[in-house]
């Protein structure tokens, strides 16, 4: 097999792995956003007043906030929820419906670290393929491709290790 063909195959496969890593990241973020949106389905956030409004029009005000975790809990008044006709479909507590909102829930989450790790493994596998191809069939195309891949892998690796902290 010619060196040129090996180089093209290695670069193509490395690009395929990078594409898979990017698709993995994108899909994981999208699924996470959708699951977070499910928690607040039917509720409307009123940003100027920093409160949520339930489907029946009742207000949930900020009850507590944890600035370290960057989340906030909004709660409706108990007597309003307890007299609501939709209570049985909304909450089982007698303290009023609560919404825990975490705007950056994806960042730093366990699932984010798992998916980032899987993406990093794909990038490292692509790098390994390019290194092996370069060692067995040295050439400038593989060297340039490895340099680009190393830059992408370092960026992804830094994001991965920042998320662990």
Domain-terminating residue out of 101, 119, 148? 101
Helix axis angle, 140-164 to 3-39, nearest 10°: 20
- The answer to whether the CB of 112 falls within 8 A of the CB of 163 is yes
Helix axis angle, 110-136 to 3-39, nearest 10°: 180
Domain-terminating residue out of 54, 80, 101? 101
Q: Indicate left, alpha or beta for 21 from its phi (over 0: left) and psi (-120 to 50: alpha).
A: alpha
Indicate if the pLDDT at residue 161 is higher than 70. no
Range(s) of the domain holding residue 84: 40-101
Residues 86 and 59 grouped into a single domain? yes
Residues 68 and 24 grouped into a single domain? no
Residues 19 and 48 grouped into a single domain? no
Residues 47 and 16 grouped into a single domain? no
The string of DSSP codes covering 24-65 is HHHHHHHHHHHHHHHHTTT-EEEGGGTEEE-TTS-EEEEEEE
Residues 44 and 28 grouped into a single domain? no
Structure tokens at 110: 């366990």
Across the range 31-46, mean pLDDT stands at 81
- The answer to whether the CB of 123 falls within 8 A of the CB of 90 is no
Model confidence pLDDT, tens digit, residues 62-96: 888 766 556 788 899 999 889 998 888 888 888 88
Residues 46 and 26 grouped into a single domain? no
Residues 136 and 118 grouped into a single domain? yes
Indicate if the pLDDT at residue 45 is higher than 70. yes
> Does the predicted TM-score (pTM) go above 0.75?
no
The count of domains in the chain is 2
Residues 52 and 96 grouped into a single domain? yes
- Of the two residues 93 and 141, the one the predictor is more confident about is 93
Residues 77 and 95 grouped into a single domain? yes
Residues 84 and 125 grouped into a single domain? no
Residues 94 and 113 grouped into a single domain? no
- The answer to whether the CB of 96 falls within 8 A of the CB of 80 is yes
Q: Which residues fall within 8 angstroms of residue 100, CB to CB, at 6 or more apart?
A: 39, 71, 72, 73
């Amino acid at each position: 097999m010619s060196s040129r063909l090996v180089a093209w195959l290695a670069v193509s496969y490395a690009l395929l792995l990078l594409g898979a890593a990017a698709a993995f990241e994108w899909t994981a973020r999208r699924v996470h956003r959708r699951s977070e949106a499910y928690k607040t389905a039917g509720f409307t956030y009123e940003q100027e007043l920093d409160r949520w409004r339930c489907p029946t029009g009742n207000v949930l005000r900020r009850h507590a906030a944890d600035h370290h975790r960057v989340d906030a809990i909004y709660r409706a008044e108990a007597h309003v929820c307890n007299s609501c006709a939709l209570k049985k479909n909304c909450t089982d507590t007698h303290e009023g419906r609560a919404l825990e909102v975490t705007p950056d829930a994806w960042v730093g989450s366990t699932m984010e670290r798992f998916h980032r790790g899987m993406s990093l493994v794909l990038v490292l596998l692509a790098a390994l393929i390019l290194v092996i191809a370069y060692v067995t069939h040295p050439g400038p195309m593989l060297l340039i491709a490895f340099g680009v891949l190393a830059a992408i892998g370092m960026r992804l690796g830094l994001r991965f290790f920042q998320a662990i902290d």
